């Protein structure tokens, strides 16, 4: 039975990875699972300089999910290289490092700095940051801004680049195309949806930043549809599917919709065994349905003709 998949040049022994910002440096999960069994880790990564993050409250529960506004708290690229990267590399699985900042130039500088470190398998570009040079417009909302950032990073590295796209857009296929045309090797679909909750006793929003990113099973059907839409567009670019995946059944839906790999995010918080539960469930599904190669499931949805 073959479970291995490829995302650009990244060889994964199975299709299960982690969504950025939900898996720490992996060591937080060492008491619960054998982290080396995961196909790859997408780590939150770093901005160029340290970011303090947002004040509390940073998260609140929602129906079948949660809202967060962590504010990408991190120790900067040097702090990441010193503290987190060595711990990540110990797991002996491909490490994909998240990159985020407020100007295309900074994105490129982070990647150039990380190029000098051994053992990194690729970069995931979080495009859900405000662009300081363009009046705070969020990169992933505009095809031309996506092109600019991805293009700058493409020039800065030969390693695979995965562009993480937001669902909060009118036409995700257009954004996906511009990421691909600018040199992205793969796509992560999807980032969180913008959401909000208000405490009716105090009349204040629960989150200090008023709104936040909705994640968890609440967004799964949305994520699945985005993966399906982009996959149907035949852009010839591999997709890592994510958004509310909790079980193997969820993951298989994403594979069928066209994802070559799946990332477990918020589920890690509720069930620290979620990654391996999903992996073991996929193996069981393959055995029960006589699927010998996981690649036979990718994009194998029997979509109704329109």
Partner 1 sequence: MKHLAQGIITRRTELSESYFLLELECQEIAREALPGQFIMLECKGETFLKRPMGLSSADPEKGVISFIYHVTGKGTRSLHSQLIGETIEVIGPLGNSFWKEKNARTIGLVAGGTGIGPLLMFGNWALKNSPETEIIGFIGAKNAKMICGEKEMKRFAKEVYCATNDGSFGYKGFVTDLLTEFLSKNSLESIIACGPTQMMKKTAEIASERNLQCQVSLEEHMACGFGACIGCIAEIKGQGYSMICAKGPVFDASEVVWKESNL
- Show binding-site residues: 44-45, 68-72, 126, 164, 190-192, 216, 243-244, 265-266
Rule CB under 8 A: say whether 268 interacts with partner 1.
Answer: yes
- Cα(240)–Cα(163) distance, integer angstroms: 10
Binders of partner 1 among 140-199, rule CB under 8 A? none
Binding site for FMN: what residues are annotated?
44-45, 126, 164, 190, 216, 243-244, 265-266
The verdict on 56 binding partner 1 (CB under 8 A) reads yes
Is residue 273 near partner 1 by the rule CB under 8 A?
yes
Alpha carbon of residue 214 to chain centroid: 14
Cα of first residue to Cα of last residue in the chain, in angstroms, is 34
Rounded to whole angstroms, the Cα distance separating 213 from 41 reads 21
Catalytic residue among 85, 120, 129, 251: 129
> Which region among 79-87, 116-124, 125-133, 266-274 touches partner 1 (by CB under 8 A)?
266-274
Nearest to partner 1 of 54, 295 (CB atom): 54
Cβ 255 vs Cβ 262: under 8 Å:
yes
Task: Give the chain's radius of gyration (CA, Å).
Answer: 18
State the binding string over 188-207 for partner 1 (x if CB under 8 A, else -): ------------------x-
Stretch that binds partner 1, among 97-105, 151-159, 255-263, 271-279 (CB under 8 A): 271-279
Q: Does 82 bind partner 1 (CB under 8 A)?
A: no
Give yes or no for residue 57 binding partner 1 (CB under 8 A). Answer: yes
User: Shortest Cβ distance from residue 119 to partner 1 (Å)?
Assistant: 22
User: Would you count residue 31 as binding partner 1 (CB under 8 A)?
Assistant: yes
Q: Per rule CB under 8 A, is residue 209 in the interface with partner 1?
A: no
195's torsion region: left (phi>0), alpha (psi -120 to 50) or beta? beta
From 55-63, 77-85, 93-101, 122-130, give the range in contact with partner 1 by CB under 8 A: 55-63
Judged by CB under 8 A, which of 3, 8, 60, 89 binds partner 1? 60
- Closest C-alpha among 289, 217, 227 to residue 250: 217
Distance, in Å, from the CA atom of 163 to the CA atom of 198, rounded to the nearest integer, reads 32
CB atoms near residue 220 (< 10 Å): 21
Nearer to partner 1 (CB atom), residue 56 or residue 135: 56
| 90, 34 Cβ separation under 8 angstroms | no
List 7, 12, 17, 23, residue binding partner 1 (CB under 8 A) = 23
CB 151: neighbour CB atoms within 10 A?
A: 18
Q: Classify the C-alpha dihedral 221-259-37-3 as positive or negative.
A: positive
Query: Among 51-59, 110-118, 172-180, 254-262, which window interacts with partner 1 (CB under 8 A)?
Result: 51-59
Distance CA 188, CA 184 (A): 11
Within 8 A by CB and 6+ apart from 119, the residues are 85, 89, 95
Q: Positive or negative CA dihedral for 86, 90, 96, 100?
A: negative
Considering CB under 8 A, how many residues would be counted as binding partner 1?
A: 36
* 129 flagged as catalytic: yes
Binding site for partner 1 (CB under 8 A): 21-24, 28-29, 31-32, 52-53, 55-66, 68, 70, 73, 206, 208, 216-217, 266, 268-273
As annotated, the active-site residues are 129
């Amino acid at each position: 039975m073959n479970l291995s998949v490829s995302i650009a040049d990244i060889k994964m022994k199975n299709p299960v990875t982690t969504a950025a910002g939900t898996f720490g440096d992996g060591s937080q999960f060492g008491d619960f699972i054998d982290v080396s069994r995961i196909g790859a880790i997408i780590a939150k990564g770093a901005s160029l300089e340290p970011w303090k993050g947002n004040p509390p409250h940073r998260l609140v529960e929602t129906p079948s999910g949660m809202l967060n506004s962590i504010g990408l708290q991190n120790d900067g690229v040097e702090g990441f290289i010193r503290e987190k990267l060595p711990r990540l590399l110990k797991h002996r699985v491909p490490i994909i490092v998240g990159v985020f900042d407020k100007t295309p130039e900074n994105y490129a500088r982070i990647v150039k700095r990380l190029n000098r470190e051994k053992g990194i398998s690729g970069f995931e570009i979080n495009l859900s940051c405000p662009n300081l040079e363009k009046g705070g417009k969020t990169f992933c909302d505009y095809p031309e801004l996506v092109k600019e950032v991805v293009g700058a990073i493409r020039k800065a590295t030969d390693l695979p680049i995965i562009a993480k796209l937001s669902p909060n857009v009118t036409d995700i296929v257009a954004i996906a195309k511009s990421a691909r045309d600018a040199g992205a090797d793969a796509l992560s679909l999807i980032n969180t949806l913008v959401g909000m909750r208000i405490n009716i006793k105090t009349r204040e929003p629960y989150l200090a930043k008023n709104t936040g990113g909705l994640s968890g099973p609440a967004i799964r059907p949305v994520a699945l549809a985005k993966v399906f839409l982009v996959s149907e567009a035949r852009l010839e670019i591999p997709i890592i599917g994510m958004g509310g995946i909790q079980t193997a059944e969820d993951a298989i839906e994403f594979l069928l919709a066209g994802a070559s790999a799946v990332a477990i995010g918020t589920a890690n918080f509720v069930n620290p065994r979620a990654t391996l539960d999903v992996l073991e469930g996929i193996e069981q599904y393959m055995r029960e349905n006589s699927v010998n190669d996981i690649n036979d499931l990718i994009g194998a949805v029997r979509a109704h003709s329109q």
